[in-house]
Amino acid sequence: MISSANNDFARTRKIVDDVLLMSFPMRALGIDFRRNVTLLRLRDGRLVIHSSAPFSERDLGVIKDFGEPVWLVDATLMHDTFAKKGRAALIGPSYLAPDGFTKATGIPTAALFPPPSDWAGEIDVLRIDGIRTNEHALFHRRSGTLVVADLFFSFPRQMRGWPRFFVRHIMRLPRLFGVSVFFRRLMIRDKQAFMRSMNALLRWDFERLIVAHWEPIEKDAKEAVEQALRDDGFQCGTGLSAPTQSAY
């Protein structure tokens, strides 16, 4: 069972000038996995809010201080946990999500792919093929920031005790970063299609990576992603061919 705690404990962290990270408590199996919400700001000050959360009035104030909330995004079918609460708090913005999200949640959404034309030249979207969760990745060009949902997990090295054991031995992430064993075994249905998407993702020139749970990577993220994929047996790399669908 997943539960959230009092929103007064949401953490806020500025990654770069146009990217703000908000982390909300999200407990399951005795571990706080955190739900990361990423604010991506366009040049004109409008915001893309990546991932829903149980936003409090205080959280909404933080969002509006950073920019004008215009789009709320849930980028995978798995991120329905806070969809109703998040939408109730943010009624005004357009709600974008993958195909099938409305059926799963009962909440009306618009298509995330292809992305809004207003994002052209600023935010790219990649639909990840070969997986069951219909996940999409977003790339904020100006800041060189890649934002994903459950494709990658990243945990702090200072994590100890039961959480560290769970991550390293049950999720099978010995380096505390990578594609979890649950994703590899349960979510990938076409390995070749998935690898084509990863090759396309690696063509983006990203320096930073923000994941949906826990720790962002703020330097050399592309190298970390490529290494993690190879460690898991995916022969992906920037020099390989066969792109998949992307936009802008």
- pLDDT tens digits along 169-206: 888 888 889 999 999 999 999 999 999 999 999 999 99
Tens digit of each residue's pLDDT (9 = 90 or more) over 49-106? 999 999 999 999 999 999 999 999 999 999 899 999 999 999 999 999 999 999 999 9
Question: Which among 208, 89, 232, 198 has a CA at the least distance from the CA of 139?
Answer: 208
- CATH among 3.60.15.10, 3.40.50.2300, 3.40.50.11540, 3.30.390.50 for 7-233: 3.60.15.10
Q: What residues contact 54, with CB distance under 8 A and at least 6 apart?
A: 4, 7, 24, 82, 85, 86, 89
Pairing of strands 68-73, 123-127: unpaired
Q: pTM to 2 decimals? A: 0.90
Task: Give the pLDDT score at 1.
Answer: 43
**Residue-averaged pLDDT of the chain:** 90
Residue type, 113: F
More confident call, 241 vs 127: 127
Encoded tokens for 148: 């994903």
Share of the chain above pLDDT 90, in %: 73
Task: Please check the confidence at residue 2 and state whether its pLDDT lies above 60.
Answer: no
